[in-house]
Structure 1
Amino acid sequence: MNDKEFGQRIRQLREQINLTREQFCGDEVELSVRQLIRIETGSSKPTLSKIQYIATRLGMTLYELMPDYVKLPDRYSKLKFEVLRTPTYENTDLIEKRNRLMEEIYDHYYDDLPEEEQIAIDAFQSFVDIYETKSVHFGKAILDDYFEQVHRKDKFTVNDLLIVRLYLEHLQDEDRTSPRFQHFLDIIQHFPVQVEAIDSNELFILRDVMLASIGILGTKECYDYIPPIFDTLDQIMVQTHDFQKKPILNLLKWKYVLYTNSDREEAQKLYEEAVMFAKLIGDDHLVAKLEESWKGDSTGKV
């Protein structure tokens, strides 16, 4: 069954139970009317989660609705996982590695991916483009089409988190009283419950979004929101036994205690621990970055 045939089947089944698209999609948190239109016309390939939602709304099992569903290619899933797990820290070799992985995704898998996966990949690439060019024009169309749906959710998928990560980049010049910034504050309230909602192998994506969120909160001087995020990040690292980003977490903690409590002694301890962890994972480039940042913080006026 190709995409057009599948879309026609969904439309026929929906019309048989006398539901309009608006009625079928309900609050549009799981499936928007615009997404349903694209699926029914065969212009968009739905993900497994979308197919499951549609089947449930139709009163069917997934395999009754689409018995020949094919899961995402294993190689694509591995590439996506590796891209998201590759920290670059402005390291040229790591940046080149990430770019090669992304190139393989776009060259060999992108065109056949479900729409939700394509949007997630494009959101990540837009984030990279913003970071490299310092221009926030990238990814605006993605946010216009998809962020509101994510914002209304209590629990996020990995792909939702990639859209949130892109959204953070568009908040750099946003005033803290703006509606867009308030949406961000709404979202971070849901971070702690995501620890149980997301597969443990994918918690590193939530971790990275939370680390970026602390940077935004610090820049906007919204310090009261930061301690609960620190606690959740500590929980994730202990739960997953993954301390790859421990140096970055410590960097953010030392800046927090310096700029909110002027506690240089505690900041020094956090700095030394950050360097120790960076050395343990063998990242000399990160060690140099930490030392450079500490030099600026410890000699500057707090």
Structure 2
Amino acid sequence: MKKEGFGEKVRRLREERGWTREQFCDDERELTVRQLTRIEHGISKPTLTKIFFIAHRLGLSLFELMPDYIDLPDQYVKLKYDILRTPTYNRADLIDKRNGKLKQIYDRFYDQLPDIERVAIDALQSTIDVLETKSDIFGREIVKKHIPRIERKRKYDVNDLLVIHLFMEHAYLSNLRKKSDSRKMFLKLVAELPKQVMLMEPEDLFVLRNVMFATIRVLGAKEICDPIPALFQGLDQIMQITQDFQKYPIFSMLRWKYELLVHRDVNRASSYCKEAMVFAKLMGNLHLMEQLHAQWRRDTSEFMTFLSC
């Protein structure tokens, strides 16, 4: 596949936002329509000043607009993806390993990273802090500054998803009142997540998967059920594309909860419970099997209590 040139990328991003060249250039003091046309057609190369202006107009950092502009250290990338790929299961030893890798990033690489990477790492750390403390005081500025920028994008990258995950954990702790701006933004991002399955690189789909799991948790807590089937479909697509079924027991658990809470269908919920157990057993994860058994007992007990009311 031919690599997208700078001008082609600018044109695509501008058109995705629904802007004409005249609208993009505004009063033409920084960039004229003629200059933008020549840049988009690859006829002329923009100066650094014009690149900064273009990035600002698109709501992007310089690194997002020109990802080849800065090479990220290989060891940093490895640490980052190790953290994202490795679940902790609330085990103290795994949590310590994750925290140790984050500390390495902050100690060895953070000061040299481009702004967008610093935001991503800070969002990741803030998400961990929110989950551990059950407080949304962590990462508020990140959410406030970057979610409106991400909301305008058609295609998300891994760093966008880390900020979205933080936003979802904040949403879990908030009221999300009907007709509020925060609820509208929340629902808009939720609707966009399944669309990303076919837009993202396969090797990054595990990050989208994790964000979708977190989003379903929020929707369940807020009793907003309509978007959940589309997220289930997206999760199933991800697992089929990646052939990574490590999270399938959790996926099946969420589906049984949905059947109990939304459709009141114990038989269908039970089939998903059995499915979860089979996958956990195939994985040899006895601890997960025990957790699933305990969760099924709690869920069915609560369901029977609800029916008797």
Alignment TM-score, normalising by the size of structure 1: 0.79
**After superposition, where does 1:36-47 map in structure 2 within 5 Å?**
46-47=62-63
2:244 alignment partner in structure 1: 242
User: 1:184 aligned to 2:186?
Assistant: yes
1:2-30, CA deviations, whole angstroms, 9 ceiling, x for partnerless residues?
Answer: xxxxxxxxxxxx96879998993488444
2:126 alignment partner in structure 1: 126
Residue from 44, 50, 57 that aligns with 2:65 = 50
Shift of residue 75, structure 1, vs aligned partner = 1.1
Match of 1:189, SS state, is: helix
Shift of residue 278, structure 1, vs aligned partner = 2.1
Match of 2:105, SS state, is: helix
1:100 alignment partner in structure 2: 100
Q: Distance in 1 between matches of 2:110 and 2:56?
A: 29
Shift of residue 269, structure 1, vs aligned partner = 1.5
2:176 alignment partner in structure 1: 175
Match of 2:107, SS state, is: helix
1:65 alignment partner in structure 2: none
1:101-145, CA deviations, whole angstroms, 9 ceiling, x for partnerless residues?
Answer: 111111111111111001001101100001111111000011122
* 8 Å Cα contact 2:31-2:50 kept in structure 1: no
User: 1:193 aligned to 2:201?
Assistant: no
Residue from 221, 225, 228 that aligns with 2:227 = 225
Aligned residues: 260
1:48-106, CA deviations, whole angstroms, 9 ceiling, x for partnerless residues?
Answer: x3336xxxxxxxxx7xxxxxx55111111111111001112212222122112111111
1:251 alignment partner in structure 2: 253
Shift of residue 212, structure 1, vs aligned partner = 0.9
- In structure 2, the CA distance between the partners of 1:259 and 1:100, relative to structure 1 (3 Å rule), is same
Can you give the 5+ residue segments of structure 1 that lack an aligned partner in the other structure? Answer: 1-13, 36-45, 53-61, 63-68
Alignment TM-score, normalising by the size of structure 2: 0.78
Can you give the 5+ residue segments of structure 2 that lack an aligned partner in the other structure? Answer: 1-28, 37-48
**After superposition, where does 1:75-154 map in structure 2 within 5 Å?**
75-154=75-154
Q: Distance in 1 between matches of 2:142 and 2:159?
A: 12
**After superposition, where does 1:202-221 map in structure 2 within 5 Å?**
202-221=204-223
Q: RMSD across aligned C-alpha pairs, in angstroms?
A: 2.4
